[in-house]
Structure 1
Amino acid sequence: MQNIPEDSGRSASSAGSDNSGRDFIISVTINSGGKIGDYYWNNNDLKVGDLCVVGDDNQPEFGAVSLARRPYRLVCEKKKPLGKIIRAATQNDISKTKANAKKEKAALTFCRERIYELDLKMSLSRVSYTFSGRKALFYFTAESRVDFRELVKDLSNFTRVKVEMRQIGVRDEARMLGGCGPCGEELCCSKFLSDFTPVSIRMAKDQMLSLSPEKISGVCGRLMCCLAYEHATYKKLKKHFPKMGKMVETPDGKCGKVCQMSILDEKVGIVFDDGVKKEYNVLELNQMKTPGPRKIADKPAHPSQTREQKEPKSGPKDTTAISRKVETPGRSRGRLVRTGSRISGAESSSPQNRNNKPRSVGEQKPEGKRPRRVRKGRRRNPPRGN
C-alpha cells in the first residue's frame, strides 16, 4: 500500500485556504456513479487512466484518473474540490473492486427480471456497489413516478445489503454507460465534464449551424454539450458582422446585400442586383444606415376633445380659485367642488345641484321626495284594469 506524503494528508478545507501553490487538482471518475469530481494530490505519480482511492477513510470510493494534475489556483477559484486522493490503488483494492463487479452483474440481471414481472414503467440503467460493499445503488430512468416498494424488498433479500434507488435523467444515463459521439470521440460527459451546462437552440443559431435535430443532438437525445464550448467566441466575433440581408457598400463602391457569413474566417458574401456573388473581408465593408421606423404619436383618450381644445390659450390661467371647500347643511364636510371660474366670497357662478339651479352656501336642501326620472323612449306601465 502506497502512503501519501505528510504534505498531502491535509483536509480539503485546509488545502483551499493554503495559497502556497504546492497543491494540484486531479479529476477522477468515480466507479460507483460515473460522476467526475476534482480531488487534490501533491505527488506526480498518477497519470490518466490510473486507478486510485478517493474520499476519506470512513467512506472511500474507487475511481480512475480522467484528467492529469493542474494547479489548484487555476482550477478551484470558484468551486472547492470534493476531497483528497487517499492513495493509488493497490492490488487488494483492485481485487475488491472486481468482486463488487460480479455482484453488480448478478444484481442487474435479477432486478431487470423483477421489473418485467412486476410490470413497472421504468428502465434500469446500472447497478453499482460502494467500495466498502455495504450499499447497492440502482440507477433507473422513468417518465413518471414509480411505486417500487415491492421491488426494493426483493432486492434487499437478494443482495443482503442496503438498497438505494436513484432516478436519473437521460444525460446522466449517457454519462454512466459511456459511448462515442457523432464526432467519433468518447462522450464529453463521460470523459471530462463534471457538470452539465444549459444548452439552447440559440447557441446553434449564433454559430450558423444546421438546426436539424439529427445534426445537433447527442446520443442522449438532447442538444450536444459541445455547442456551448465556442458559443462565447462566436457571439463576440459576430458583433462586428452585419446582419443577414443588410445593405452594405463594398470597397469597389458598389452596394449589395449580405447573403453569407463565415465568422471564423471573417468573410462576408455579398450578392449584387445583377445576381453576382462575391466575398469580402468584414473590415472592408461599410454598413449603410437605413432609416428607422417612423414614430407615431400616442392618440389621446378622446381625440375629439383634447385638453388644449377645452382650454383655449386666450391668456394666462387663473389658478387662484380652482377648488374650494363648501360646507352645506345635510352634506358631508370637506367636499371638493371644482369650478371653472373665479369664486368671489361665498357664491359660485356654476350650479352645484342636480336640478341645475343655483344654490347659495346657506340655502338648505329642499324637503320632499325627488321626482322620478323617466328615460326617453320608455313608456310607463299602463294602469291595470279592474
Structure 2
Amino acid sequence: MTTILGLRFRENGQIYYYCAPNQVILAGQHVLVKTDQGPAMAQVALLTENLPQDVEPTELKPIQRLAEQEDLVQHEENSLLAREAIRHCRRCISQRNLDMKLVDVEILLDRSKMIFYFTAPGRIDFRELVKDLVKAYRTRIELRQIGVRHETQMLGAIGNCGQMCCCARFIRKFQPVTIKMAKEQNLFLNPTKISGMCGRLLCCLAYEQSTYEEFQRRCPKIGKKYQTNQGPVKVLRSNIFRETISVFNEHGEERELTLEEWKAIAGETWTPYIPPQQQPQQRPSAPPRPRPEPESAPDQSDTATHGDDGELVAAGLPDDPSQPRPKRKRKRKPKPRRQDAPQAPHAEPGE
C-alpha cells in the first residue's frame, strides 16, 4: 500500500507531498528525497491517503529512504554552517556597499552547492561577492534574487488575523491580487488594513473573490435606476451575508429587499429606467429678411490713372475681367555718376 507523506524542508514551512511505496514511516521521522537542486532531508509532518485538490497525482514523487544517524549529524552540521555563512555574507555585502538584503542560506545535504537568497530593489552586480564566497567555502555558490512575498514565505510572520502567514503555511503558488478585489468586497481602502507583513495586498483577498463575483452577477448594479412594477427605484448597496439589496424609490423611502423579492418586482430581465425627455419650447420663426441688392459699380471706362510725370498708365477697367490688371510702371531714378579721383599735375622735364 502506498502511503502519502506531507514533508517539510523548513521548520513551520509549507508542506510538499511525496509517496512511500511499501515502507512504514511515522510522523516526525526524517527522510531523504531527491529535489531539482539535489538530495535534501525533510521531516514527515503528516500522513494521508488522499491528495489535496491543488496537487496533481503526476507531481507525486517517491522518497529515497529513511534518514540514518550519519545523515542527521550531517544535517545538523549544515545548519550550523548556514548560520555562519549568513554572517560572513552580510559582512561581505557591507564591505562592498551592495544594495541588497540577505534573507537565508540553503545548503544541500552533500554540500555540493550553497544557495544564497536575497532581495534587492533592482539588478545587482554580485560577481565579486561570488568570488569571495567561493574562496571562503570552496563549493558551488548560487545567488538567487527573490521578491518580498517569497521573503515572508521563507522567514514566516504573524498576520493581522493572529495566525501564521498563509504563504508560510500552505500557499505554494501566489495568485495575483488587485485593489479591485478589495473594492468589490466593500473593504476600507486603508493600506494598513488590506496589506500583509510583506507590504503587498493580502493573499486572503483572493479566497472569497469567486463568492463575491457570483453574488454580484445575481444582483443589479449598484448606483443604477431600474423600472419595476412599483415605479422606478435606485439600487444603493448590497449585503452578501444577508443576500439583500437596499433600494430607494420615487417616494423617498429606502427599502431592503431580498433577491427573491427583487425578482418579483423587477422580473427576470431588469429594465433600466429612462426618464422622460423634456421637449424644448419652439419659438415662432422670424420671417426671412430681404437680401440687399448689390450696388452697381461706377463706370470707370472714362477714368484715367496718370503716373507721377503725367504719363498715362491705365485708362478704365479691362473689358475682360479674367485678364489681369496691368501693373503700374515705376520710373527708375538715374544712378549718380562715379567721380574720378583728381590726378596729380604732370611735371615737365627740366623744371
Task: Find the aligned partners of 1:73 and 1:378 in 2 and give their Cα distance.
Answer: 99
Q: In the superposition, relative to structure 1, how do residues 268 and 68 fare at CA in structure 2: closer, same or farther (>3 Å)?
A: farther
| Partner SS, residue 80 of structure 1 | helix
2:127 corresponds to which residue? 149
Select 1:283's aligned residue among 260, 265, 283: 260
1:63 corresponds to which residue? 42
1:111 corresponds to which residue? 89
| Partner SS, residue 58 of structure 2 | coil
Q: In the superposition, relative to structure 1, how do residues 58 and 191 fare at CA in structure 2: closer, same or farther (>3 Å)?
A: closer
| Partner SS, residue 279 of structure 1 | strand
Query: How high is the TM-score relative to the length of structure 2?
Result: 0.67
Task: Find the aligned partners of 1:57 and 1:143 in 2 and give their Cα distance.
Answer: 27
1:189 corresponds to which residue? 167
Q: What is the Cα deviation at residue 51 of structure 1?
A: 3.9
Q: In the superposition, relative to structure 1, how do residues 91 and 255 fare at CA in structure 2: closer, same or farther (>3 Å)?
A: farther
2:148 corresponds to which residue? 170
| Partner SS, residue 182 of structure 2 | helix
Q: Say whether 1:54 aligns with 2:33.
A: yes
Q: What is the Cα deviation at residue 274 of structure 1?
A: 6.4
Unaligned regions of 5+ residues in structure 1, if any? 1-21, 295-374
| Partner SS, residue 181 of structure 1 | coil
Select 1:135's aligned residue among 104, 107, 113: 113
Q: Which moved more, 1:130-139 or 1:50-59?
A: 50-59
1:101 corresponds to which residue? 79
Q: State percent identity of aligned pairs.
A: 36
1:233 corresponds to which residue? 211
CA displacement 1:333-355 (0-9 Å, x = unmatched): xxxxxxxxxxxxxxxxxxxxxxx
Q: What is the Cα deviation at residue 109 of structure 1?
A: 0.6
Q: Say whether 1:206 aligns with 2:184.
A: yes
CA displacement 1:206-261 (0-9 Å, x = unmatched): 2222222222211111111111112112211221112212346899x576432221
Unaligned regions of 5+ residues in structure 2, if any? 277-321, 335-351
1:372 corresponds to which residue? none
2:341 corresponds to which residue? none
Q: Which moved more, 1:60-69 or 1:174-183?
A: 60-69
Letter in 1 for 2:41: F
Q: What is the Cα deviation at residue 44 of structure 1?
A: 7.2
> Which aligned pairs between 1:1-386 and structure 2 lie closer than 5 A?
23=2, 25-31=4-10, 37-42=16-21, 45-47=25-27, 51-55=30-34, 59-65=38-44, 68-72=47-51, 76-77=55-56, 80-81=58-59, 83-247=61-225, 253=230, 256-272=233-249, 276-285=253-262, 286-287=265-266, 289-291=271-273
The alignment's C-alpha RMSD in Å is 3.9
Letter in 1 for 2:243: E
Aligned length: 281
Task: Find the aligned partners of 1:128 and 1:50 in 2 and give their Cα distance.
Answer: 21
Letter in 1 for 2:176: P
Decide whether the 8 Å contact of 1:243 with 1:258 is kept in 2. yes
Query: How high is the TM-score relative to the length of structure 1?
Result: 0.62
Which structure has the larger Rg over C-alpha atoms?
2
Q: Which moved more, 1:173-182 or 1:201-210?
A: 201-210
CA displacement 1:131-162 (0-9 Å, x = unmatched): 22221111111112212122112212222322
